Amino acid sequence: MKTENQKPMNPQEVFCPNATCVACGQIGKGNIGIHSQKERRYKCEVCGKTFAETKGTPFYRAHKSAVEMVRVITLLAHGCPVAAIVAAFEWDERTVQRVQEKAGLHSQEVHEHLVEQPRDLKQVQADEIWVKAQGMILWLAMALQVESRLWLGAVVGKRRDQTLLKALMQKVRACALCRPLLFCVDGLSTYLQAIRDTFREPLSTSKSGRPRLRPWDGIHIAQVVKQYCGRRVVGVVQRICQGAPAQVAALLQASQGLGGINTAYIERLNATFRARLAPLVRRSRCLVQQIPTLHAGVYLVGTVYNFCTYHESLRVELLLPHHRRRWLRRTPAIAAGITDHLWSVSELLWFKVPKPPVLPKRRGRPSQAFLDLKKQWLG
């Protein structure tokens, strides 16, 4: 695949993608060399395998140029209709959908590698979106950290039940430290049991069998129940289902949330997703054909929202001499301390997620050379 404006090859920024190599995922250790400048291939000196520069990115084995793919994926991530992309770039519709799925899967790997890391969340809001699919109804559940507006992930299910919400809470737990945490959700009673079942940890004992599960300290749950008359909201009831009111108020103040107990931030994020994904629009004729397509589209939009989009409510004022005012714009990833700059869509797609090696099982006693090599790279 030919690319335009190619940057020089740098072996110090590349790792071996061979899962059976003991040096897999190791960056800047001197084991990677340039195999071919013309074909833009690297070589691992440990396992002897060669691999393309695009290995581990959506550009791997693609028949379109990287520049054109970045433009198409950028348009898809910002809500451009597929029909418009087909007309403008003269691509086949199936090619556009395949590129979107590859970009979505890559975005999910980046999200799990960078976002799903333990941090102090303070306040999390969660909500579900009703999605019309081909011959069925789907539910999309998402969660958001209020302080940094960081999108924490999403799950897709055929029912709005305990299974869907537990899967969502598992994603929230992967991003959370064992600190005081406030959940603001709607009036769905299933949330209470899903949160209580997920945020538990086993108590280590010397006895055999399954250990007893102990709930996390400082888990608070608040619900916002909307009262309807016909299709109009006539009232809102805010109630605390778990935790003390003083602690809930302290978490609301610490997370810089406005308006007390509410779900306004996740509902605003829902509007962003509805604007960028046609199947999420109410009363739309665009239906979801397959669940993986919706899942990939959601993760593409969510990752671009986290890393590649400035959020106006996250800007901070800089103190400059002579009473000059200047604002520092931030993305949710910058506010959460994940990155220090605005990512471009190209940087997101070229980011390679390092993975730990999966060494094959060997029969017999391993050689001393293999043990020395394993100790050198794996410790």
Tens of pLDDT along 126-166?
Answer: 999 999 888 888 999 999 999 999 999 999 999 999 999 99
């079942």: which residue's tokens? 197
Query: Would you state the pLDDT for residue 5?
Result: 58
Establish if 56 belongs to a structural domain.
Answer: no
Q: Which residues pair with 219 in a beta bridge?
A: 181
Of 34, 28, 31, nearest to 8 (Cα)? 34
Sign, Cα dihedral of 111, 117, 122, 128: positive
Instruction: Give me the number of domains the chain comprises.
Output: 1
Query: Would you state the pLDDT for residue 26?
Result: 87
Instruction: Tell me the three-class secondary structure of the chain, residue by residue.
Output: CCCCCCCCCCHHHCCECCCCCCCECCCCCCCEEEEECCCCEEEECCCCCEEECCCCCCCCCCCCCHHHHHHHHHHHHCCCCHHHHHHHHCCCHHHHHHHHHHHHHHHHHHHHHHCCCCECCCEEEEEEEEEEECCEEEEEEEEEECCCCEEEEEEEECCCCHHHHHHHHHHHHHCECCCCEEEEEECCCHHHHHHHHHCEEECCCCCCCCCCEEECCCEEEEEEEEEEECCEEEEEEEEEEECCHHHHHHHHHHCCCCCCCCCHHHHHHHHHHHHHCHHHCCCCCCCECCHHHHHHHHHHHHHHHHHCCCEEEEEEEEECHHHCEEEEEECHHHHCCCCCCCCCHHHHHHCCCCCCCCCCCCCCCCCHHHHHHHHHHHC
Extract the residue ranges of the chain whose pLDDT is less than 70.
Answer: 1-5, 257-258, 322-323, 379
What domain range is 227 assigned to?
119-199+214-276
Both tokens of 311, joined, read 């959020």
CATH number for the domain harbouring residue 166: 3.30.2170
Query: Would you state the pLDDT for residue 133?
Result: 86
**Model pTM score:** 0.90
Question: pLDDT tens across 40-56, in order?
Answer: 999 999 889 999 999 99
Both tokens of 90, joined, read 């003269």
């809102």: which residue's tokens? 236
Establish if 329 belongs to a structural domain.
Answer: no
Query: Which amino acid, 276?
Result: R
Cα 80 from Cα 277, distance rounded (Å): 9
Neighbour count for residue 210 (Cβ, 10 Å): 7
Establish if 241 belongs to a structural domain.
Answer: yes
Q: Which residues pair with 183 in a beta bridge?
A: 124, 221
Q: What angle do CA 156, 355, 1 make, to 5 degrees?
A: 85
Establish if 52 belongs to a structural domain.
Answer: no
Establish if 68 belongs to a structural domain.
Answer: no
66-77 and 93-114 are packed helices; what angle lies between their axes, rounded to 10 degrees?
Answer: 80
Query: Would you state the pLDDT for residue 49?
Result: 92
Classify residue 372 by burial, with Cβ atoms within 10 Å: 0-12, 13-18, 19+.
exposed
Establish if 173 belongs to a structural domain.
Answer: yes
Sign, Cα dihedral of 167, 225, 257, 277: positive
Query: Would you state the pLDDT for residue 175?
Result: 95
Query: Would you state the pLDDT for residue 323?
Result: 65
Establish if 304 belongs to a structural domain.
Answer: no
Establish if 253 belongs to a structural domain.
Answer: yes
